[in-house]
Amino acid sequence: MTRTGTGQRRRATVPAALIALGVLGLLGAQLAPGAAAVIWDDRPVLNIAHAGGDLEAPHSTLFAMKSAVAAGADVLEMDLRLSADGQIVVQHDATVDRTTNATGEARTFTAAELAALDNGYWFVPGCWSCHDRPDAEYRYRGVRTGTVPPPAGFTADDFAIPTLEQVVAAFPGRRLDVEIKDGPDGMATAEALASFVAAHGPADRWVVASFDDDILAHFKELAPDIATSPGLGGVTEWFGSRGPLPDHRVLQVPPVYSGIEVVTQQFVDDAHAAGIAVWVWFDGNDDDAPAEWERLIALGVDGLITGKPEQAEPYVAAAATTTTTATSTTTSSAPSSTTVAGAGTTGRSELPATGRGGPGGLAVVSALTTAAGAALVRVARRRRDPVRT
């Protein structure tokens, strides 16, 4: 057992050549409005529970996922690794140190050994892994090991590190956004996941991501019909070209980095013109908040990957109501292909738009290139570190 601090936030760097690529691509980009490619059209904006809702409940636990679904979440987002005995487990970090009562590489534990760990050990509301709080604040510590009774309607097993098999069994038919983590087992995880999704359909319940392009390409070779999000290289290329992404259906990106807006109206319009849905993930407690949700919904994003699915649900539901009202009161003819998806818009095409037209201004080029470079720094991390509140 260990009680270590959360450590310093690591920063990835983006090679200058990639930023140069963004500049050149944007200078030559021919952008045109178009209709968004709809990956799932249950609602105009999807409530996507990040790690089950890791700012409201312990990260990557069935307790968090069940709570999120009960609160109205449409999609469950999670990270995947392989256990020592080859099972696909829902685990964010390469080690178990930040969420459990143990320490060590996750890949050295069997699935049963991982399941025995207390995966709610370091959770406090608003922080999925803070190691410096008074013991009394760790409200779920001990539930997994039986020293504390579980909340009503739940069991100790709901506070374990689950397998993907357990998630699918608990949520039959539930839509899942899963990330294959990189590392020494990344390729093997891609292979195991391809076999798994083939046996646990339907195919359209899945979106698969990895910021390692090689891992993602290997998965796509094995499961070409499964919707995917591009890796770091693919995102970089798209920031430069702003063109179609024929192999992918969704861009998953952060909204803001270092005070620079990444997800702007231009960004969303460009993605929709290229036939790509935009799902936005957050850096922590500060930006995963109502004001930012409202801004993004107004821009027309297609999904919020939020650590607060219960708190976000009224905002997502309001977006659906706004869209329904706008649709029911429209008296003009059917919307043209220039209509993009979002709050207050009508019509969403399920076919990717491939047209590219009118030029963008140099000011837009400069802003988007700066935002692209900043975003890619965060994309390389892909999922947030714990935030102290």
Kindly report, residue by residue over 367-386, the tens digit of the pLDDT.
444 444 444 444 444 444 54
In eight-state DSSP terms, residue 137 is G
Phi-psi region of 268 (alpha: psi -120 to 50; beta: other; left: phi over 0): alpha
**For residues 64 and 70, what is the distance between their CA atoms, to the nearest angstrom?**
10
Model confidence over 261-315: pLDDT tens digits? Answer: 779 999 999 999 999 999 999 988 889 999 999 999 999 999 999 999 999 999 9
Measured between alpha carbons, how far is 162 from 337 in angstroms, rounded to an integer?
A: 43
**47 close to 75: Cβ distance less than 8 angstroms:** yes
- Name the one residue in this structure whose structure tokens are 């799902």: 279
The more confident residue out of 279 and 244 is: 279
> What span, in angstroms and rounded, lies between the C-alpha atoms of 219 and 39?
19
For the cut 80, the answer to whether the pLDDT of residue 7 exceeds it is no
Q: Output the pLDDT for position 258.
A: 63
pLDDT at 77: 98
- Residue-range domains of the chain with CATH: 20-381 (3.20.20.190)
Average pLDDT, the chain: 79
- Structural element, H or E, at residue 387: none
Q: Can you tell me the distance from the alpha carbon of 3 to that of 106, in angstroms, rounded to the nearest whole number?
A: 17
What pLDDT, in 10s, does the model give residues 304-345?
Answer: 999 999 999 999 999 988 765 554 444 333 222 222 233 333
| pLDDT of amino acid 209 | 97
Distance in angstroms (rounded) separating the CA atoms of residues 205 and 312: 22
Joined together, the tokens standing for residue 306 give 């939020």
Q: What is the pLDDT of residues 96-121, one digit of tens each?
A: 999 999 999 999 999 999 999 999 99
